[in-house]
Structure 1
């Protein structure tokens, strides 16, 4: 009873769309009742004849309800379109799956199922969405296993798990089914060795049972027969590939979109359990194998194998998430601890998913699946399809363990079987829009709420069916309290004849710079502005009613500080006062420097304070931040004034005479830091600069003596150069002589060594012949 009463109150609140905040109407350009309604959720229109005062614009009919009633508009004459809510389909929530099966209908977990909303722009409406977990709701579990070589010991355990998995599921529901699929990776380089022998047997040579390489294979459709599951899984063998990441995204995509082959039931909780010890390939990785065609998110199973594995790229995370949500599938990632962090990050991007850590041989997979299912099924997350930016949908959960109120998703955790929870859904259309529809659904569950949405932006005024109404001087009819004049007549009550000019041109002459008619402060009467009076009784004035004498600046809550008059929004100060609000006495006492100048000649004195030019700082504009260094900017002037050199030498007086006053000194009297700059002759000039009043007015003290470098001794340089050349030549000759002498010594030693090795025989020379005839000299006596 209490729940029903709460629902009724929330339903009525949603229909009324009231707000606890202050109601305001921000009027813009208002010419019709529809303009008023579109201006804001709390703007209403007074339909009462003779509501506006003479000369007052019809826009005065648009305001908040309280303001209009205060001005005398009757309750029955106020036009205020509200929100409209209607339930189109409301099948009661189911209790158990068995009862609904007996009635031969599908169980209902969400109420209502279809509604219609017609909303006033900016005015939110709230309705209640209820959800109840049906007891015994069917579960379909598809076991998707990585059969790469590293999962060999895991496969041995899974072969024995058929009865255990179904037993665990049947503890949850009697209507449980299980299916099986396997995957490795694309059978192309660099993912798989494409050698013919390796494609046939991609495992190590010692592995006797190894099936050929494949991408994804659907092994067993959904069944309640645990023996069949165990028999089919026992026929599976390990396979292999090259790189560690696997093609799990290809397998999950096909398992999601191939509903008829997998055997998903219409009314069931759908689970995909992915077991692996490796990471995953995703969109873009296919380019490594020259696969450029994006995944098309369609079913391509042929003889239980994924036929487009080597032709299409892997799916992206976004594509996979979309198809899992579209087909109400909740993934459970049963992975080893080495890759658990990767899949936990993936789980944050896939709503209604869980991650569990497997042991090294997958022996804990049954308990892992059971606990992951309990976490998924006990957490109810309500979300909606994409809606335009001008439409907002937020949720406030009504449950023991609810998420934050006003979020774009509604969350209730730890929801038990048979427990009923609710969500307050608030829908707001910010502006007028075309009719549209969207779906609200609990993630991972088939049940949906279809919402048809339209906006209420026009007025239904129930105008009297009188063509030439007396209120309009018999020249028009009444439309929402205003006159809609016949052709040839214009004016608030059709009192003006157009003549040769049409109404649009007359109204255009009342707009300044094509803006609002009479600036919103008067009525356009026959092409001229008739200005309204202000709240205090004075009048707006100007050709377009653009001026008033009440909205000038104030000081101490006095208009123009009481020291001037307000003229068309600006203060005209009395003699002796100044400033935009006339609160300052005309004085420059606080702006004068010790030398007597005002703001150092680098600013203006306003309100007895210096307003300095760019770069200079108060109080006297004597310090400049970011200004160029005068040591550099005035260097050429110092050069020509002090030493008659430099680029300004010929016209030094004209270029520098007015900006720099200089004195040649032997020692400095200024306390400024000295400047040191080099002139065109390479000498260092030392001087000090002081800025006088004004922007470009300096006083300089220049040291008479420059620091010039000494000239080099040319004769010494020439003589030294000649002597150096001669010395170098002599050294070269000595070096050559030394090298020749060393070579001669080497040859002499070589000759002597060869001589020592010679062996001479003491025998006659075979080439020598004795004399045949001997002749004695008769004159030779022998003495």
Structure 2
């Protein structure tokens, strides 16, 4: 309850003017009246000659009007450009439709605005629907085979359709067009026979496949409409989606062929039972050329159907809006959702559900037309960058104020409604023009927009004025020096040096002149005063004594002085903001050192050398392992060997060496490392005060391995070579044996495969030997 009362109280205070917006001027770099005007809508410029004294920035002339008056500027010396608006053309709204002149439904028709950046201006826009305004209706029908029953009903639709339109207006016209899809694969069967008759074989009433065909231009004759529609035959294609967007694009951009009148409500009634192809689908057929949104009709046929892709939804919406065409999608129930989504992307469109044979199409068109005509949507096009337009409807059934459009619903014919149009330009630009219009209506408001970014000051004539030491003239209260002179009051003669050289000497590291805190006078910086009254100082006005670090909301903690952005503390205090008493109690260690010699004590806390850690800089997690790091020094100090023995006393001055001991009583780290000669050294390290400072204790003599036996090595090498030779010979012998065994087995196998007989050759006769005894007589 209390919250509600507080809210009502605040609301009443605002309505009675008790809560007022505070005008502010946010300044950046201000060098002229023009810079001031561009800084914000409430910035004003004082042209009073003596408003600034020597050493003061001219930027102090720029502030809100109230602040300038409070600082002594006369009201009539203040420049603060305001917006100007003028009506260039304002014809009165038409009371009724007349034949001798075009009806006026929107007023005014032209307006001129001269605006200051950031400052809004508001004007009123009136609209009134004229009773009996002409209507052009283009009936665009899907003639794929599934629409066969619908076509038969549409052939007898002419009388009812004209009767419905005549109830709306006495100036109605109807046209007719048909579409199927692109006659290429995969959308249509490209077999020659199927192209000529794409329907079923038993269907004799079928025309060849086509993309989009314009059948009848706009006509007021019912007989002509009925005759042309009666001649139409059904066609067919392969896939379910159709070329609806191709047909609608051509119907929108081919105005002369369709017969759209200049002053009429233009409607396209699309009837279909299928979805639609859109941009990108053409790639399925190898069609890569994007839709160019131009008319391509020859002999009432769309000629680019097979070579140009489908239009995108955005392209179609743009052309429908540009040509003031309002689509009505009369579709079957199963694709209603698809076309409702499409309708959301196309302004001023409606969706209705057809019956199975399209008998309700007339009632559907009447209902959709009433919705479209009773809803007035005002919007703009070609809006320049950095310009914002907000519409506030003034009607009984209005939508919320919006920066893209204003909407009034349930508007009756003859009813006048208004819109407050608020225009804001955020920056300066060249003169431009944009238009405001109701969607679906030809009437427009042309807005000529120019900017006020310069000051129109009443300057004294001539270029020699006493305010400028007679070396220059006055422009908007500040001096414009003649050639050869510079300075706030043209008091500096350039002489032999040019102006660029003089100004360069006032810039630190090629930065801003005098750091933006002073004026460059004759090559030296004259510093301005700070907001509190003190002065900037330094060669380039880089210093001030007000912007040092604070402690407990006090500059330099109250324990020092601010000098050029840094605190100089009294002797008892230290720190960046003099916030600490000088003390090292918190930095003392048990051996009475400060931070173990590895850091400095500031504000009673150790600031350690890199690597060592607070609170007392004891450990160094990132430092190398001391056992490995100090090995060379242990070797050179303890055993006079190693890499560091040439410069041992210098390199190892932070390592204290002691005699070899058997016991080690101090806490330390035990190390076991191998030296440069391969011997193991056992030692302990204790870190002393200071950075990288150690006390070393060698625990025992080096443990060096015995040198290898040369004789054993040679004997072992010879034995190894002999053994390897014997093994190689055995391996070779084994390989030869395995090869011979393989060849023998191969021979045996071949022998078994032989097919010749083992009997003796009949032609072969054994040799016979006859021996005769010469002494034998035969007796």
For the superposition of Structure 1 and Structure 2, which TM-score range results when normalised by the shorter chain?
0.7 to 0.9
Aligned to 2:7: none
CA change 1:244–1:603 in 2 (3 A) is farther
Aligned to 2:754: none
CA contact under 8 A between 2:25 and 2:40: conserved in structure 1? yes
1:71 matches 2:68: no
Aligned to 1:113: 109
Aligned to 2:38: 38
1:488 is matched with which residue: 480, 484, 489? 484
Alpha-carbon distance between aligned partners in 2 of 1:212 and 1:658, rounded to the nearest angstrom: 106
CA contact under 8 A between 1:491 and 1:526: conserved in structure 2? yes
Which sits farther off after the overlay, 472-481 or 336-345?
Answer: 336-345
Q: How does 1:240-319 map to 2 (within 5 A)?
A: 240-319=236-315
Report how far residue 608 of structure 1 moved: 6.1
Aligned to 1:763: none
Alpha-carbon distance between aligned partners in 1 of 2:335 and 2:111, rounded to the nearest angstrom: 45
SS of residue in 2 equivalent to 1:370: helix
2:542 is matched with which residue: 523, 546, 555? 546
CA-to-aligned-CA distance 1:394-421 (integer Å, 9 cap, x gap) = 2223333333324232233333333333
CA change 1:551–1:187 in 2 (3 A) is same
CA change 1:583–1:108 in 2 (3 A) is farther
CA-to-aligned-CA distance 1:20-55 (integer Å, 9 cap, x gap) = 643222323322222222222222111112111232
CA-to-aligned-CA distance 1:562-591 (integer Å, 9 cap, x gap) = 122111122233345444333344567778
SS of residue in 1 equivalent to 2:347: coil
How many pairs align?
A: 707
CA change 1:546–1:228 in 2 (3 A) is same
SS of residue in 1 equivalent to 2:51: coil
TM-score, normalisation: structure 1: 0.75
CA contact under 8 A between 1:637 and 1:652: conserved in structure 2? no
2:444 is matched with which residue: 438, 441, 448? 448
Report how far residue 524 of structure 1 moved: 2.4
Alpha-carbon distance between aligned partners in 1 of 2:490 and 2:513, rounded to the nearest angstrom: 17
CA-to-aligned-CA distance 1:320-360 (integer Å, 9 cap, x gap) = 22211110111222223333333333333222222333344
Aligned to 1:84: 84
Report how far residue 559 of structure 1 moved: 1.1
CA contact under 8 A between 2:97 and 2:130: conserved in structure 1? no
CA change 1:422–1:516 in 2 (3 A) is farther
1:236 matches 2:226: no
Q: How does 1:625-640 map to 2 (within 5 A)?
A: none
Aligned to 2:153: 157
Aligned to 2:56: 56
Alpha-carbon distance between aligned partners in 2 of 1:594 and 1:217, rounded to the nearest angstrom: 103
Which sits farther off after the overlay, 382-391 or 541-550?
Answer: 382-391
Aligned to 2:719: none
Alpha-carbon distance between aligned partners in 1 of 2:144 and 2:592, rounded to the nearest angstrom: 92
Report how far residue 635 of structure 1 moved: 13
2:199 is matched with which residue: 179, 197, 203? 203
1:384 matches 2:391: no
Aligned to 2:340: 344
SS of residue in 1 equivalent to 2:526: strand
CA change 1:76–1:197 in 2 (3 A) is same
Alpha-carbon distance between aligned partners in 2 of 1:362 and 1:595, rounded to the nearest angstrom: 104
CA-to-aligned-CA distance 1:611-649 (integer Å, 9 cap, x gap) = 899999998999999x99x99xx9999999xxxxxxxxx
CA contact under 8 A between 1:402 and 1:413: conserved in structure 2? yes
Report how far residue 594 of structure 1 moved: 11
CA contact under 8 A between 1:610 and 1:620: conserved in structure 2? yes
Q: How does 1:642-681 map to 2 (within 5 A)?
A: none
Q: How does 1:468-547 map to 2 (within 5 A)?
A: 468-547=464-543
CA-to-aligned-CA distance 1:379-407 (integer Å, 9 cap, x gap) = 32222123332222222233333333242
Q: How does 1:164-203 map to 2 (within 5 A)?
A: 164-203=160-199
Alpha-carbon distance between aligned partners in 2 of 1:105 and 1:202, rounded to the nearest angstrom: 51
1:100 is matched with which residue: 97, 100, 109? 97
CA contact under 8 A between 2:187 and 2:237: conserved in structure 1? yes
Residue segments in structure 2 that go unaligned for 5+ positions in a row: 1-18, 633-641, 655-686, 695-730, 732-741, 743-779
Alpha-carbon distance between aligned partners in 2 of 1:540 and 1:432, rounded to the nearest angstrom: 34
Aligned to 1:148: 144
Report how far residue 607 of structure 1 moved: 5.5
Report how far residue 225 of structure 1 moved: 3.3
SS of residue in 1 equivalent to 2:152: helix
CA contact under 8 A between 2:97 and 2:131: conserved in structure 1? no
Alpha-carbon distance between aligned partners in 2 of 1:24 and 1:557, rounded to the nearest angstrom: 27
Alpha-carbon distance between aligned partners in 2 of 1:72 and 1:309, rounded to the nearest angstrom: 76
Alpha-carbon distance between aligned partners in 2 of 1:300 and 1:624, rounded to the nearest angstrom: 82
1:123 is matched with which residue: 116, 119, 123? 119
1:411 matches 2:407: yes
Report how far residue 60 of structure 1 moved: 2.0
Alpha-carbon distance between aligned partners in 2 of 1:426 and 1:578, rounded to the nearest angstrom: 60
CA change 1:258–1:549 in 2 (3 A) is same
Residue segments in structure 1 that go unaligned for 5+ positions in a row: 1-18, 641-649, 660-690, 699-724, 726-735, 737-783
CA change 1:107–1:593 in 2 (3 A) is farther
1:567 matches 2:592: no
SS of residue in 1 equivalent to 2:23: coil
CA change 1:20–1:236 in 2 (3 A) is farther
Alpha-carbon distance between aligned partners in 2 of 1:543 and 1:477, rounded to the nearest angstrom: 30
Aligned to 2:736: none
SS of residue in 2 equivalent to 1:465: coil
SS of residue in 1 equivalent to 2:321: helix
CA change 1:57–1:197 in 2 (3 A) is same
Alpha-carbon distance between aligned partners in 2 of 1:211 and 1:692, rounded to the nearest angstrom: 106
Aligned to 1:212: 208
TM-score, normalisation: structure 2: 0.75
Report how far residue 535 of structure 1 moved: 3.5
Alpha-carbon distance between aligned partners in 1 of 2:262 and 2:102, rounded to the nearest angstrom: 9
Alpha-carbon distance between aligned partners in 2 of 1:144 and 1:577, rounded to the nearest angstrom: 91
CA change 1:112–1:587 in 2 (3 A) is farther
1:400 is matched with which residue: 385, 396, 399? 396
Report how far residue 507 of structure 1 moved: 3.1
Alpha-carbon distance between aligned partners in 2 of 1:271 and 1:695, rounded to the nearest angstrom: 91
Report how far residue 454 of structure 1 moved: 1.0
Alpha-carbon distance between aligned partners in 2 of 1:272 and 1:516, rounded to the nearest angstrom: 64
Which sits farther off after the overlay, 444-453 or 221-230?
Answer: 221-230
Report how far residue 65 of structure 1 moved: 1.1
Alpha-carbon distance between aligned partners in 2 of 1:105 and 1:294, rounded to the nearest angstrom: 41
Report how far residue 66 of structure 1 moved: 1.4
Alpha-carbon distance between aligned partners in 1 of 2:383 and 2:609, rounded to the nearest angstrom: 53
Report how far residue 451 of structure 1 moved: 0.8
SS of residue in 2 equivalent to 1:512: coil
CA-to-aligned-CA distance 1:121-150 (integer Å, 9 cap, x gap) = 222222222222222222222111111112
CA-to-aligned-CA distance 1:71-129 (integer Å, 9 cap, x gap) = 1000100111111111101112223xxx3315x22222222111111111222222222
SS of residue in 2 equivalent to 1:339: helix
Which sits farther off after the overlay, 435-444 or 601-610?
Answer: 601-610
CA contact under 8 A between 1:29 and 1:516: conserved in structure 2? no
CA contact under 8 A between 2:54 and 2:488: conserved in structure 1? no
Alpha-carbon distance between aligned partners in 2 of 1:41 and 1:152, rounded to the nearest angstrom: 66
Alpha-carbon distance between aligned partners in 1 of 2:613 and 2:370, rounded to the nearest angstrom: 70
Alpha-carbon distance between aligned partners in 2 of 1:607 and 1:301, rounded to the nearest angstrom: 89
CA-to-aligned-CA distance 1:720-777 (integer Å, 9 cap, x gap) = xxxxx9xxxxxxxxxx9xxxxxxxxxxxxxxxxxxxxxxxxxxxxxxxxxxxxxxxxx
Report how far residue 185 of structure 1 moved: 1.3
CA change 1:433–1:150 in 2 (3 A) is same
